């Protein structure tokens, strides 16, 4: 595989004098101010700001509705949170972008059920990628779901699942079987906003995750945006992937799944 410098040398127009790629701007102050108007005063103030600044609308209707629905307005004057408490709450936010497993002043979460250990730099074969689509024509109609269940059944050391919404009873039953019959530790990380749906599924299955010795269920929130008005928007976790035995990862949706095998050195980075 060519290294990065070789790829850059082979890029089109690289040889032209004075040509350099121009990255798109990563920040737009006018859009931020428009967003502040939307959160603090609603859609009419947002539209008025766009007209006044001669800006085109950069948010679709579903995005505007989602922002207004997610915005949490500040407490009353007598119940307002102090600046010290806000800093403390921000420091305890597990969705912080400052978390790095090897470079962080915050200790990584304790994986009390263990994690596969590998020798640094050990070679475990070439990485292979398999793609599944659903619905599929042939013997297996639901190829994506079956691919996930196959990976769970093949697990021998550990399974780590990250999902925004987890309500599939068949897949959860497979995870239960891995814990109880094969004694495989299972970590499940869910979006806190959708935990209620997961618990409803557990109730329907008459299963209590707290009573399973080899299963740990945790929740996390998305990044939090604080507006000048004191309102805040807590983001969602739009992730779907599963790690199996530290050497296989499956990601995607029920429309398409990608499975990577021998994807690299396993890190204790599952939070």
Both 254 and 161 in one domain: the answer is yes
pLDDT of 257 reads 57
- For residue 19, CA distances in Å to 5, 7, 13, 16, 139 come to 16, 16, 7, 6, 53
For residues 156 and 232, membership in a common domain is answered with yes
- 44 pLDDT more than 90: yes
138: left (phi over 0), alpha (psi -120 to 50) or beta: left
What pLDDT sits at residue 81?
45
Is pTM beyond 0.85? Reply is no
Please tell me whether residues 37 and 154 are part of one structural domain. no
Residues 246 and 161 in one domain: yes
**pLDDT tens across 203-246, in order?**
999 988 888 899 999 988 888 888 888 888 888 888 888 999 88
Q: Going by DSSP bridges, is the β-strand pair 215-220/186-191 parallel, antiparallel, or unpaired?
A: parallel
Asked if the structure places residue 102 within a domain, the reply is no
Cβ–Cβ under 8 Å, residues 266 and 115? yes
- Euclidean distance between CA atoms 221 and 234, whole angstroms: 7
Q: Are residues 163 and 254 in the same domain?
A: yes
The answer to whether 247 touches 263, Cβ cutoff 8 Å, is: yes
Q: Do 141 and 45 belong together in one domain?
A: no
Whether 13 maps to a domain, the answer reads: no
Length of the chain: 271
Q: How confident is the model at residue 94 (pLDDT cuts 50, 70, 90)?
A: very low
Confidence of residue 48 (pLDDT cuts 50, 70, 90): very high
For 173-203, how does the pLDDT look when each residue is reduced to its tens digit (9 = 90+)? Answer: 999 999 999 999 999 999 988 899 999 999 9
- Residue 85's pLDDT is what? 45
Map residue 170 onto helix, strand or coil: helix
In terms of domains, do 55 and 152 share one?
no
User: Does residue 36 sit within a domain?
Assistant: yes
Owning domain of residue 195: 131-270
Residue 65 neighbours by CB under 8 Å, 6+ apart? none
| Residue 163 placed within a domain | yes
The average confidence (pLDDT) of the chain is 76
pLDDT in tens, 100-157: 445 555 666 678 888 887 666 556 677 888 888 877 776 777 788 888 999 999 999 9
Q: Give the list of residues 6+ apart from residue 142 with CB closer than 8 angstroms, or none.
A: 134, 135, 136, 254
Q: How many folded domains does the chain comprise?
A: 2
CATH code of residue 136 = 3.30.870.10
Domain assignment present for residue 150? The answer is: yes
Vertex 257 angle, CA 251 and 259, to 5°: 65
185 and 60 assigned to the same domain: no
Q: Is residue 78 part of a domain?
A: no
pLDDT of residue 17: 57
Q: Does a structural domain hold residue 97?
A: no
Give the pairing of strands 71-72 and 128-133: unpaired
How confident is the model at residue 22, as a pLDDT? 67
Please indicate, yes or no, if residue 248 is contained in any of the structural domains: yes
Other CB atoms within a 10 A radius of the CB of residue 179 amount to 19
Q: What would the two tokens of residue 128 be?
A: 């292979």
Are 64 and 141 part of one and the same domain?
no
Residues 186 and 264 in one domain: yes
Q: How confident is the model at residue 247 (pLDDT cuts 50, 70, 90)?
A: confident
């Amino acid at each position: 595989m060519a290294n990065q410098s070789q790829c850059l040398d082979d890029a089109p127009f690289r040889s032209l004098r004075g040509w350099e790629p121009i990255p798109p701007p990563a920040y737009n102050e006018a859009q931020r101010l428009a967003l502040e108007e939307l959160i603090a005063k609603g859609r009419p103030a947002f539209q008025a700001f766009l007209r006044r600044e001669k800006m085109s609308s950069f948010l679709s209707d579903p995005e505007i509705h989602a922002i207004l629905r997610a915005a949490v307005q500040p407490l009353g004057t007598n119940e307002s949170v102090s600046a010290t408490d806000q800093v403390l709450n921000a420091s305890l936010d597990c969705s912080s972008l400052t978390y790095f497993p090897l470079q962080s002043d915050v200790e990584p979460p304790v994986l009390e059920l263990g994690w596969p250990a590998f020798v640094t730099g050990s070679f475990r074969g070439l990485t292979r990628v398999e793609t599944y689509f659903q619905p599929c024509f042939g013997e297996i109609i639901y190829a994506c779901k079956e691919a996930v269940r196959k990976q769970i059944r093949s697990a021998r050391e550990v399974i780590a699942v990250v999902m925004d919404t987890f309500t599939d009873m068949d897949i959860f039953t497979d995870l239960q079987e891995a814990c109880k019959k094969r004694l495989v530790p299972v970590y499940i990380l869910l979006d806190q906003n959708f935990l209620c749906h997961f618990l409803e599924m557990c109730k329907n299955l008459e299963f209590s995750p707290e009573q399973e010795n080899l299963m740990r269920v945790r929740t996390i929130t998305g990044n939090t945006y604080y507006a000048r008005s004191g309102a805040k928007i807590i983001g969602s976790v739009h992730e779907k992937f599963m790690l199996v035995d530290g050497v296989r990862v499956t990601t995607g949706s029920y429309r398409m799944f990608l499975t990577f095998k021998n994807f690299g050195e396993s890190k204790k980075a599952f939070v």
